[in-house]
Amino acid sequence: MKKSIISGCAGLVAMLLAGTALAAGAGTGGMNFPQGTATPSETCGACHKAIYREFAFGFGSDLHYRPTTIPQKEGEAIPMPAGVSATATAHAFAGSEKYPVHAREAEEEGRSCNVCHYPEPFAIPDINVAEMSKPKARGKDKEAVGITCASCHLTPEGKIRSAHAVNAPHETVADPAIQTSAMCAYCHSMGKRVAGKQTQTFLEWREDFFKPGLGKQQCQDCHMPRTMRKVAEDYDNPERPVARHLWTGGRSQQRLASALSMAISQPGEGKADLAFHLINIGAGHSVPTGSNRRAVYLNVVVTDQMGKPVATREWMFAPSYGPRPDDRKFLEEDKKRPDAIAASQADAQGPHEAIIRAGEERILTWTPALPSGTYTVKARLIYDLNRYNSRSYTEDQTDMNGVTFTLKVKQG
């Protein structure tokens, strides 16, 4: 006979062996979480095996960690710690990845600036909130485990929120909002909506994609597609649509390849005029989105009939650090800011193309100096996890997709 979820003694023993002191408490489930959102995800994985395998190891995805560097130590790659899976989800290694630690030491004087990695239990915000505040952070002594299952599923009342009402060893509450983009809002947006700025992903989805009617998809529909399975494999519970806990994004070539479409045209017949059309109908938010470190390069190489490069051009698309475009003219002003290092890092790189909003077709033009002849134009879109290190450092870059075009030029 299969076990029932309520009689999950074996699961509880496994939880305790995993090193987490789940205490008996009030409520129908009989368990509570004294460590709160610092409860290790291995605890939940004792019963929710498939979900944990996806979360901790990226099972069933093409995720792969790409080491990067920080500008202050150019060329010194920051690898993932040996004990962390290189195919894990970004949520799983949020407390282990060395790059944010190095970056905050270099840019933020050691401050725990990214509370999104270490939140206390929170209530899901209203999906129409005008200004997104930060979640409350855990104490510094509880940062190490990073984002856990409990970070998203534990309510301020100590219950486990779920899309369904279930009987379990812990008290649960059905919360339909967990299947909406509001679930992601606290950690994937900050402040008021400012087009082109960093940390705006949820607001980009809401204002540029959902409200205009470009689509009805919530964040989960793309980043957590559902599959039919049991929530807890060893217990007597029905198969139902359950989200895959993968959140593929900037470290997934499959996800990046679908983000932007590209086409090349020749506006003037016989002229060396080129137009590059970048169309965002593959993402429900801007591309690139999130951190101001992210960038997308449009790299173009024109070759002659012998295959020799005769002209090149590159554009960079990136979020601005603050509510204005990055620009070197603000460098002196940046020195007076409390976030001087981070702000000046962005401005020092100078002006760049704004990020491409959901539903937008961005057209960039270029007329290379070419004599009469037939040429091959190769355009590539490249995603960079960290635009502030050397452009020649490619370990943190991923080819998204590319287009080839035949250009015929006639003089006179």
Q: What confidence score (pLDDT) does residue 327 get? A: 98
> 11: pLDDT confidence band, cut at 50, 70 and 90?
very low
Overall average pLDDT of the 81-105 stretch:
84
> 21: pLDDT confidence band, cut at 50, 70 and 90?
very low
* Separation of alpha carbons 90 and 105, rounded Å: 20
* pLDDT of 24 higher than 50: no
| pLDDT tens-digit map of 313-355 | 999 999 999 999 999 999 999 999 988 988 999 999 999 999 9
| pLDDT tens-digit map of 233-248 | 998 889 999 999 999 9
> 140: pLDDT confidence band, cut at 50, 70 and 90?
confident
The DSSP secondary structure of 126-162, one letter per residue, reads: PTT-SSBPPPPBPPGGG-TT-S-HHHHHB-TTSPEEE
Rounded percentage of the chain residues whose pLDDT exceeds 90: 73
Q: In sequence order, which residues have a C-beta less than 8 Å from that of residue 338 and are 6 or more positions away?
A: none
Cis? peptide before 288, omega within 30° of 0: yes
What mean pLDDT value characterizes the chain? 89
Secondary element (H or E) of residue 349: helix 340-349
Domain 254-319+355-409 belongs to what topology? Immunoglobulin-like (2.60.40)
> 22: pLDDT confidence band, cut at 50, 70 and 90?
very low
* pLDDT of 85 higher than 60: yes
* pLDDT of 206 higher than 90: yes
- CB environment 268-297: b (16+ within 10 A), e (fewer): eeeebbbebebebebbbbbbbbbbbbbbbb
* Separation of alpha carbons 9 and 143, rounded Å: 30
* pLDDT of 106 higher than 90: no
Closest CA to 296 of 277, 315, 311, 312: 315
pTM for the predicted model, two decimal places: 0.90
* Separation of alpha carbons 35 and 28, rounded Å: 19
Q: What confidence score (pLDDT) does residue 172 get? A: 93
CB atoms inside a 10 Å sphere around CB 200 = 27
Token digits of residue 270: 């016989």
Q: Where are the alpha helices (DSSP H) in 236-312?
A: 253-257
Domain segments of the chain as ranges: 36-248, 254-319+355-409
* pLDDT of 404 higher than 60: yes
Overall average pLDDT of the 31-46 stretch:
92
Q: What confidence score (pLDDT) does residue 113 get? A: 55
